[in-house]
Amino acid sequence: MRRFAWMVPALYIAFVLVPIYWLLNMSFKNTNEILGSFTLFPRVFTLENYVKIFTDPTWYGGYVNSLKYVLMNTALSVVVALPAAYAFSRYRFLGDKHLFFWLLTNRMAPPAVFALPFFQLYSAIHLFDTPFAVALAHCLFNIPLAVWILEGFMSGVPKELDETAFVDGYPFWRFFLRIFVPTIAAGIGVTAFFCFMFSWVELLLAKTLTAVDAKPIAATMTRTASTSGYELGLLAAAGSLTIVPGAFVIYFVRNYIAKGFALGRV
Amino acid sequence: MLTIAVLLRFMDSFMIYTEPIVLTGGGPGNATTLLSIDLVKVALGQFDLGPAAAMSLVYFLIVLLLSWIFYTVMTKDEATT
């Protein structure tokens, strides 16, 4: 029995990787081969799908737009969540537990609920169809998440560190930026990763709050699927490319990610 | 810990939008038109803003209520958290 124990994770990994393999596989085929026959690997190896994406501005523009608002949102979420998480982790104040749980309820709110008010509000103040609109909207679920993860990491740092620094005469902001932030650098990395990921895969708000100029890649992909027939190869290539930024970011935090899952209750 | 994980999954699957809209667009017929898809259709497809706002609130309250019930039931026997 024990000899076959390795098969359980192996099967699971295969189960998870097969769709990704299939996506890559499809992205190197042309449409005829995808629709015509069932092939485990591309018979006619073609790069034209990728060439199309990298030469057509409506395609690569989608990636640029997505990256713009995702990076903005990640920076904003981490910067706002750092002091908030510090307060929740170090101080006891009236209703702190309730406020902390209330943050979680922000994550309960379905994005569909907020699509309408955001849409009207941003149209009124001319933020509609800019990356700022999406970046701000995504703060709705990313800031609570960031606070929860960072609070977990901060509570892992003993309070004596703060007290020693204050006894040594550090002003608060100097201590916070010079000592505390480097101490929880791994936590910040993990938080940034999760913010990046959730903002990157979110479709509803990103699609609703943009029209032409700031159209994200996910919205570009849904459009192509519905209008100009089924360019499955192109779609698969675009899908494979959307995996790249996440994989790139996860590389930097790969050693801390499990801790982030545990602490952030993601 | 487990409670929170299950609760988050529960909430996330309640507000699912991306997968059905990309795969089926709410069809065939109305078979996969979930609350979130219906809401976006009413709000931004037909621009019935008043009804859509009311729907948003009801939708939010449904999720909140279910999550609250879920949370109280699951944490009843563990005094921590």
Q: Does position B3 have pLDDT exceeding 80, yes or no?
A: no
Q: Quick one: tokens of A87?
A: 């307060």
Q: Can you tell me the ipTM of this complex?
A: 0.70
pLDDT > 90 in chain A, percent: 13
Provide mean pLDDT across the span B15-26.
Answer: 76
The pLDDT score that the predictor gives to residue B81 is 46
- Selected for mutation to probe chain B from A23, A103, A108 (highest B CB count within 10 Å) is A108
Closest C-alpha to A146, from A231, A266, A48, A53 = A266
What is the number of other CB atoms lying within 10 angstroms of the CB of residue A65? 22
Do A170 and A60 form a contact (C-beta atoms < 8 A)? no
- Give contacts of A 194-233 with B, CB under 8 A: 201-204, 208, 218, 221-222, 225-226
Q: Does A164 touch chain B (CB under 8 A)?
A: no
Asked if A226 and B25 come within 8 Å (Cβ–Cβ), the reply is yes
- Weakest-pLDDT range from A2-6, A9-13, A45-49, A257-261: A257-261
Q: Does A115 touch chain B (CB under 8 A)?
A: yes
At A17, is the pLDDT very low, low, confident or very high (cuts 50, 70, 90)? Answer: very high
The model's pLDDT over B29-60, given as tens digits with 9 standing for 90+, comes to 777 788 888 888 887 778 788 888 888 888 88
A108-139: string of b/e by CB count within 10 Å (b at 16+)?
bbbbbbbbbebbebbeeeebbbbbbbbbbbbb
Q: Which residue of A has its CA nearest to B34?
A: A112
Query: For the range B5-9, what are the long-range contacts, defined as Cβ-Cβ under 8 Å and sequence gap of 24 or more?
Result: B5/A265, B5/A266, B6/B74, B7/B67, B7/B70, B7/B71, B7/B74, B8/A107, B8/A265, B8/A266
Q: Does position B4 have pLDDT exceeding 50, yes or no?
A: yes
The model's pLDDT over A62-90, given as tens digits with 9 standing for 90+, comes to 889 899 999 999 999 999 999 999 999 88
- Selected for mutation to probe chain A from B6, B36, B61, B62 (highest A CB count within 10 Å) is B36
Q: Does B18 touch chain A (CB under 8 A)?
A: yes
At A260, is the pLDDT very low, low, confident or very high (cuts 50, 70, 90)? Answer: low
Asked if A112 and B11 come within 8 Å (Cβ–Cβ), the reply is no
CA–CA distance, A61 with A71 (Å, rounded to integer): 15
The pLDDT score that the predictor gives to residue A79 is 93
Q: Does B69 touch chain A (CB under 8 A)?
A: no
- Selected for mutation to probe chain A from B8, B37, B48, B55 (highest A CB count within 10 Å) is B8
In 3-state terms, what secondary structure has residue B5? helix
Which whole-number Å values give the CA distances from B50 to A159, B44, B53, B62, in the listed order?
A: 50, 12, 5, 19
Asked if A208 and B44 come within 8 Å (Cβ–Cβ), the reply is yes
CA dihedral sign, ordered A237, A238, A244, A247 = negative
Provide mean pLDDT across the span A211-221.
Answer: 81
Rg (Cα) of chain B, in Å, rounded?
A: 16
Q: Mean pLDDT of all residues in chain B? A: 78
Would you give the end-to-end CA distance of chain B in angstroms? 8
Higher pLDDT, A266 or B21: B21
At A187, is the pLDDT very low, low, confident or very high (cuts 50, 70, 90)? Answer: confident
In sequence order, the 6+-apart residues with CB closer than 8 A to the CB of A191 are: A77, A78, A81, A145, A146, A149, A150, A153, A260, A264
The model's pLDDT over A113-140, given as tens digits with 9 standing for 90+, comes to 888 888 888 989 988 888 888 899 999 8
The pLDDT score that the predictor gives to residue A225 is 55
Do A128 and A211 form a contact (C-beta atoms < 8 A)? yes
Q: Does A259 touch chain B (CB under 8 A)?
A: no
Provide mean pLDDT across the span B11-30.
Answer: 76
Q: Does position B24 have pLDDT exceeding 80, yes or no?
A: no
Q: Does position A12 have pLDDT exceeding 90, yes or no?
A: yes
Provide mean pLDDT across the span A140-165.
Answer: 87
In sequence order, the 6+-apart residues with CB closer than 8 A to the CB of A30 are: A44, A46, A48, A233
Q: Which residue has the tokens 């930024």?
A: A245
Look at the pTM and tell me if it is higher than 0.95: no
The pLDDT score that the predictor gives to residue A77 is 93
Q: Give the dihedral of Cα atoms B52, B55, B57, B61; nearest 10 deg.
A: -160
CA–CA distance, A161 with A138 (Å, rounded to integer): 33
Angle value at C-alpha A261, between A259 and A266, nearest 5 degrees? 155
Question: Cis ω on the peptide bond leading into residue B28 (within 30° of 0)?
Answer: yes
